[in-house]
Amino acid sequence: LAYLDYNATAPTRPEALAATLSAMRTVGNASSTHRSGRDASSRVDLARRQIADLLNCSHGEIVFTSGATEANNLALRAAFATGGKIVTGRAEHPAVLETAKALTAENSGSLILLPVDEDGLVDMEAFHAALATNEVAIVSLMAANNETGVLTDLAPIVEAAHELGALVHTDATQIVGRLPIDLAETDVDLLSLSAHKFGGPQGVGALFVRRGISLPYRPLLFGGGQERGWRAGTLNVAGIAGAGAAAEAARKALPAEAAHIAQLRDVLEASLVEQAGDCRINGALSQRLPGVTSITFHGAPADAVLAAMPDVAASEGSACSSGAPSPSHVLLAMGRSREEADSTVRFSLGYATTSHDIDRAVVSAVRAVRQVRTALAVPL
């Protein structure tokens, strides 16, 4: 199988597997003060430093969670604890969109959804207009889109939001470990990540909370006060250890890995465009993640194309949201028709992708698209 679905989840890095297994072979609650507890907490401390090194922040700014979904929920809830407005984008992941909707509905706050253009970029005029309405508690815009890989230029967003006293959160789930991130340079207040996207275990993530920011703050989980009160519950030591090891492996491999992946992606795109014909790469004119291609094969519904290429793991729209057959809200927000959205396949590459995977995917996808188009062609 050519696995080209890294945006859904990446294969576990060997370093992560080793660190997770090693932690699971020992006993210890990271909150206990005896030697076993100290061993567990030193594994967590190491992982915290490894994640912080990947982001170039301080280890004291990392709060471990069960993933990016929880980190997004926690960030928005913490910033919105005293109400106001949430500004976010129409192409965000449901873990931000649905949270923002729920929070503003519960607290009769207001939600401003920024449009994106046909290349997937946030409409900056609408962003400035939203900020000017005042009382914006938080701006939440993703660093990289999970369906198209389109990157958001966060610097001007942070600068404008901070001038008006609004906090900035970014869902960086798809960029962490894939492109360098420097939190000393990018002044976001809150950032979410999920370990399984960069080769760590599923069910582990983190929220970066910049030291010194003033946040109304309300945790999602109350209990034993772990993670400095941010997230109660016994720490998932084995998962966290794996997340840390994956972060370190990803940091060491960057940026050479990113350049290699981009090269493979470019070959994939050029071959598909040339051989399948009548297609469109979504977000092609924007800065994108190195490993993602979202491609609309006109006249070939993606579910049929995927079914016709069982030796390739790719996805229709976004597999990480659900198996529901609704069209991609991201592509609709970019102005695509429902038919175009339904004829779009996402291939996402990562650290272990080989040129053999790409060759295989090209042969299978081109064959599948031709087959589906032929089957659907109206006989003369």
Least separation in angstroms between CB 113 and ligand PLP: 16
Using CB atoms, what's the residue nearest to ligand PLP? 67
Q: List the interface residues with ligand PLP, window 162-191 (CB under 6 A).
A: 171, 173-174
* Number of residues assigned to the chain: 380
Least separation in angstroms between CB 353 and ligand PLP: 18
**320 has catalytic annotation:** yes
> How far is it, in rounded angstroms, from Cα 291 to Cα 29?
38
Count other Cβ atoms within 10 Å, centred on residue 159: 11
306 binds ligand PLP (CB under 6 A): no
142 binds ligand PLP (CB under 6 A): yes
Closest CA to 138 of 115, 116, 158, 108: 158
Residues 247, 200 contacting (CB under 8 angstroms): yes
Which residue of the set 289, 320, 362, 368 is catalytic?
A: 320
Q: What are phi and psi of 269, to 5 degrees?
A: -65, -50
175 versus 368: smaller Cβ distance to ligand PLP? 175
Among residues 12, 20, 41, 69, which is the contact residue for ligand PLP, using CB under 6 A? Answer: 69
Closest CA to 166 of 185, 140, 148: 140
Least separation in angstroms between CB 322 and ligand PLP: 10
Number of residues located near ligand PLP, criterion CB under 6 A:
14
Count, in order, helices (H) and strands (E) of the chain: 12, 13
148 versus 364: smaller Cβ distance to ligand PLP? 148
> How far is it, in rounded angstroms, from Cα 329 to Cα 363?
29
Give Cα separations from 300 to 170, 263, 343 (angstroms).
34, 26, 6
315 binds ligand PLP (CB under 6 A): no
244 binds ligand PLP (CB under 6 A): no
Q: Give the interface with ligand PLP as residue ranges (CB under 6 A).
A: 67-69, 93, 95, 142, 146, 171, 173-174, 194, 196, 205, 320
Catalytically active residues are 320
